[in-house]
């Protein structure tokens, strides 16, 4: 009896939790296929089902542009952050570069409310002519993803990987070769997971994008927010746009899970 | 092939801990040297300093006559086998084996030839395309050994490579390593805390404790003449019995037993007469029958328990009149004794070792090899 309870209870709690998170998503999914009037009906009903909202976001709003901007900026920021974060994490793990001070410094930059960074960035970008540009937003996103990714990656370079590198060093590898041929491939699942997370982080970022982007560089989250204020809340197209903007994230999740677990279980090797 | 020489080597870890202190050791070209000692005594640290994985805080390291303190591990041309093997998990066995050679730019044909030879020698030919995760412990151990062998280095450094194997495989690999050393003749430094490995494999044993070398010598030499009670109590299983006793001019008092010393022995220890000593008595020097030729003297013991091992029986007993310390006695395989039973043994006094209770060092080493 007790054993059954011990097995059932976690499932009940987890199901309740999942439902809590899933409900809004399901609601949005439903709304994206209906019209504005049926959207707010309680209890929820389906009403006229159709793809009109999906057509509308592409026809009436610059949705394609937002999507491409988001893609360019998220890919750009991740492509720059990932190698830099890998190198930084390796330096932390292997040489304790900068000591506890630098490590905590990097972490502290993550703890600041992002709003604190917005104003200085705004000033600098204005001066450097980076306002409203893709490059500017990529740089802004680096201030978030670089510290986050390097912290995440440190643990992948600690522990067993160091032993393997030692074996390689005695085998005749230079420091660089040990890094390139042993540390990076062994930590690859972790690096991949970090890259995916970095992409998602950038993809969803709102505050920097709101302040620092312009019409030509507006990202999805900013565009979606614009829908809310247009003429009241365009709830149905908004829902459709939200669903489309979630597609890349959901497409990445299975990989993220697989590689994160693979990365975290690295310690199990003997 | 090369000699390895450590002169007054120290290792202070960044936290200030002195893991190795003033170690001087000359390992001859082609020698099979054992580093033996309890956990934490600095064996791995010493080995890692030789390989270049730890910096040498003080002192000098020479390999093949050249000073190596500041030479990169990649350029020392030694190979190390770790306790947990440290095989590259993302590479197949064949890539693991050839990694070092590929880094050195050795030609494809030569690599293939050498890998094939080693794989053949170690019986891992079938496993070449597998990843380490798909190997058993014994197979990984062979691959790790192969990875070291294939490079034909100047010296092999083995850090407890057999400790993860089961007893049967371990004894097989022990023989394998001895044979390997005989064919290749390469210098080997083998770290272990298994004293069977130490006794059977090495040409010399270096016994360490708390970061310092306690004794270096051929296995039998160390076995017969331990320099102090630590070595006496560490080597062999069961180890030498160490009993507090009193030395007189021509005899030794052990509880209520008085062992008459042969004249030669009495003379040798004359300088220490009339004082407390620690008597070192090997378990196999107690016999059930008196032997006039071997100068035996009777010792009365009270049996505590017996351990029947098969080929022999270990009797755990206390010496009559000396209830505190238990001693171990090696008995023939059909020997039995009930708890509390009194048994008379005949101890071969010529094998007696005496230690100073204060310094723990041997008073004099009367036994020749
Ligand atoms: N990086 C380090 N920093 C500080 N102390 C260390 C470090 N590495 C090892 N030590 C200490 O140095 C001593 C010797 O360690 P070492 O690994 O050489 O022991 P060992 O003889 O190989 O033991 P074992 O048989 O358990 O492997 C130990 O007391 C250990 O705690
Ligand atoms: Mg060790």
Nearest to A172 among B82, B84, B100 (CB): B100
3-state secondary structure of B235: coil
- Does a structural domain hold residue A9? no
Nearest to A174 among B51, B53, B74 (CB): B74
Cβ distance B74 to A169 less than 8 Å, yes or no, reads: yes
Residue B211 pLDDT exceeds 60: yes
- Does a structural domain hold residue A197? yes
3-state secondary structure of B200: helix
| Helical segments of chain B, H only | 43-51, 93-103, 108-122, 137-149, 167-184, 195-201, 219-224, 229-234, 263-268
- Does a structural domain hold residue A52? no
Q: Output the CA B44–ligand 2 centroid distance in Å.
A: 4
Q: What is the pLDDT of residue A237?
A: 86
The average pLDDT across B332-338 equals 92
CA distance A150 to A154: 6
Residue B173 pLDDT exceeds 90: no
Q: What is the pLDDT of residue A267?
A: 41
CB B367 within 8 A of CB B351: yes
Q: Provide the greatest CA pair distance for chain B.
A: 76
Give the model's confidence band at B59: pLDDT under 50 very low, under 70 low, under 90 confident, else very high: very high
Per-residue pLDDT of chain A (270 residues; tens, 9 = 90+): 778 888 899 999 999 999 999 998 988 888 888 887 787 777 777 777 888 889 888 888 888 999 999 999 999 999 999 999 999 999 999 998 888 888 888 888 888 888 888 889 999 999 988 888 999 999 999 999 999 999 989 988 988 899 999 999 999 999 999 999 999 999 988 898 899 889 999 999 999 999 998 888 899 999 888 877 656 777 888 889 899 999 888 888 888 887 777 665 544 343
- Does a structural domain hold residue A4? no
Strands of B275-281's sheet in order across:
B257-260, B251-254, B241-247, B275-281, B353-355, B362-364
Q: Output the CA B86–ligand 2 centroid distance in Å.
A: 14
A76 vs B264: which has the higher pLDDT = A76
Rounded to 5°, the CA angle A179-A184-A187 comes to: 130
Q: Which residues surround ligand 2, an ion (CB under 5 A)?
A: B 44
Tell me which H or E stretch contains B9: strand B4-12
- Does a structural domain hold residue A50? no
CATH code for the domain in which residue A81 is found: 1.10.3720.10
Residue B42 pLDDT exceeds 90: yes
R_g (Cα) of chain B, nearest Å:
24
Q: Output the CA B160–ligand 2 centroid distance in Å.
A: 7
CB A224 within 8 A of CB A95: no
According to DSSP, the residues that pair with B267 across neighbouring strands are: none
- Which is it for the CA torsion B161, B167, B173, B179, positive or negative? positive
Strands of B155-159's sheet in order across:
B78-81, B155-159, B187-192, B32-36, B204-209, B212-217
Q: What is the pLDDT of residue B364?
A: 67
- Best probe residue, ligand 1, of B9, B37, B41, B84 (max atoms within 8 Å of C-beta): B41
- Does a structural domain hold residue A196? yes
CB B160 within 8 A of CB B129: no
Q: Which of B12-16, B248-252, B287-291, B293-297 shows the lowest mean pLDDT across its residues?
A: B293-297
Q: What is the pLDDT of residue A75?
A: 96
CB-CB neighbours of A129 under 10 Å: 10
The tokens describing A225, both together, are: 């927010």
Q: Output the CA B53–ligand 2 centroid distance in Å.
A: 13
CB A248 within 8 A of CB A66: no
Residue B228 pLDDT exceeds 60: yes
φ/ψ bin of B278: left (φ > 0), alpha (ψ from -120 to 50), beta (otherwise): beta
Q: What is the pLDDT of residue A269?
A: 43
CA distance A17 to A234: 29
- Domains identified in chain A, total number: 1
Q: What percent of chain B has pLDDT over 90?
A: 74
- Does a structural domain hold residue A14? no
The tokens describing B4, both together, are: 């390895």
- Domain range for A127 is 62-226
- Does a structural domain hold residue A251? no
A237 Cβ neighbours under 8 A, 6+ residues apart: A53, A56, A57, A60, A61, A227
Cβ distance A170 to B78 less than 8 Å, yes or no, reads: yes
- Which is it for the CA torsion B327, B331, B337, B343, positive or negative? negative
The tokens describing B57, both together, are: 């805080």
CA distance A193 to A264: 10
Contacts of residue B82 in chain A, CB cutoff 8 Å? Answer: 163, 167
Is B269 exposed, middle or buried, given 0-12, 13-18 or 19+ CB atoms closer than 10 A?
Answer: buried
Q: What are phi and psi of B10, to 5 degrees?
A: -120, 150
Q: What percent of chain B has pLDDT over 70?
A: 98
According to DSSP, the residues that pair with B62 across neighbouring strands are: B5, B67
Q: What is the ipTM of this complex?
A: 0.84
Q: Which residues of B161-199 are buried (b: 16+ CB within 10 A; e: fewer)?
A: bbebbeeebbeebbebbeebbeeeebbbbbbbbbbebbb
Q: Integer distance in angstroms from the first to the last C-alpha of chain B?
A: 30
Cβ distance B84 to A163 less than 8 Å, yes or no, reads: yes
From the CA of B193, which ligand is nearest?
Answer: 1
Calculated CA dihedral for residues B170, B175, B179, B181, nearest 10 degrees:
50
φ/ψ bin of A98: left (φ > 0), alpha (ψ from -120 to 50), beta (otherwise): left
A-B contacts (CB, under 8 Å): 62
């Amino acid at each position: 009896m007790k054993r059954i309870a011990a097995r059932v209870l976690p499932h009940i709690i987890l199901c309740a939790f999942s439902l809590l998170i899933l409900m809004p998503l399901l609601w949005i999914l439903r709304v994206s296929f209906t019209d504005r009037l049926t959207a707010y009906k309680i209890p929820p009903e389906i009403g006229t089902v159709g793809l009109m909202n999906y057509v509308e976001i592409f026809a009436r709003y610059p949705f394609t542009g937002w999507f491409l901007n988001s893609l360019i900026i998220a890919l750009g920021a991740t492509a720059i952050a990932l190698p830099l974060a890998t190198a930084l994490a390796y330096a932390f793990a292997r040489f304790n570069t900068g000591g506890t001070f630098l490590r905590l410094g990097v972490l502290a930059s993550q703890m600041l409310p992002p709003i604190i960074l917005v104003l200085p960035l705004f000033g600098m970008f204005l001066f450097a002519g980076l306002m409203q540009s893709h490059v500017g937003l990529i740089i802004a996103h680096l201030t978030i993803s670089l510290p986050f990714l390097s912290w995440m990656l440190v643990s992948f370079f600690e522990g067993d990987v160091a032993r393997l590198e030692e074996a390689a060093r005695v085998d005749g590898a230079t420091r660089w070769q040990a890094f390139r041929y042993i540390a990076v491939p062994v930590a690859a699942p972790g690096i991949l997971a970090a890259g995916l997370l970095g992409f998602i982080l950038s993809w969803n970022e709102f505050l920097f994008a709101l302040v620092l982007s312009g019409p030509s560089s507006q990202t999805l989250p900013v565009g979606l927010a614009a829908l809310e204020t247009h003429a009241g809340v365009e709830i149905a197209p908004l829902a459709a746009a939200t669903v489309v903007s979630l597609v890349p994230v959901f497409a990445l999740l299975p990989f993220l899970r697989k590689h994160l677990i693979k990365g975290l279980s690295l310690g199990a090797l003997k | 092939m090369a000699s390895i020489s450590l002169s007054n080597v120290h290792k202070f870890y960044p936290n200030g801990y002195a893991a190795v202190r003033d170690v001087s050791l000359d390992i001859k070209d082609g020698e099979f040297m054992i580093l033996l000692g309890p956990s934490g005594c600095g064996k791995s640290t010493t080995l890692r300093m030789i390989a270049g994985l730890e910096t040498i805080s003080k002192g000098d390291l020479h390999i093949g006559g050249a000073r190596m303190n500041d030479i990169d591990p990649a350029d020392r041309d030694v190979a190390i086998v770790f306790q947990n093997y440290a095989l590259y998990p993302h590479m197949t066995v064949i890539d693991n084996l050839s990694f070092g050679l590929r880094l050195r730019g050795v030609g494809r044909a030569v690599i293939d030839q050498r890998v094939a030879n080693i794989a053949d020698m170690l019986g891992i030919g079938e496993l070449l395309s597998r990843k380490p995760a798909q190997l058993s412990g014994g197979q990984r151990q062979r691959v790790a050994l192969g990875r070291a062998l294939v490079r034909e280095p100047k010296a092999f450094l083995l850090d407890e490579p057999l400790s993860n194997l089961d007893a049967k495989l371990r004894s097989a690999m022990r023989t394998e390593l001895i044979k390997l050393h005989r064919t290749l003749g390469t210098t080997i430094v083998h770290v272990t805390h298994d004293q069977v490995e130490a006794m059977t494999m090495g040409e010399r044993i270096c016994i360490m404790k708390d970061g310092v070398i306690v004794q270096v010598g051929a296995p039998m030499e160390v076995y017969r003449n331990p320099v102090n009670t630590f070595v006496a109590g560490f080597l062999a299983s069961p180890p030498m019995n160490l009993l507090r006793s009193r030395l007189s001019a021509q005899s030794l008092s052990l509880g209520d037993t008085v062992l008459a010393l042969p004249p030669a022995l009495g003379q040798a220890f004359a300088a220490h007469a009339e004082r407390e000593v620690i008597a070192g008595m090997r378990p196999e020097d107690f016999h059930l029958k008196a032997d006039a030729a071997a100068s035996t003297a009777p010792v009365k013991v009270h049996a505590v328990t017996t351990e029947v091992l098969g080929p022999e029986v270990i009797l755990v007993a206390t010496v009559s009149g000396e209830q505190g310390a238990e001693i171990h006695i090696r008995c023939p395989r059909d020997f039995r004794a009930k708890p509390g039973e009194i048994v008379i043994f005949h101890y071969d006094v010529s094998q007696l070792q005496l230690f100073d209770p204060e310094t723990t060092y041997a008073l004099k080493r009367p036994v020749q090899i």
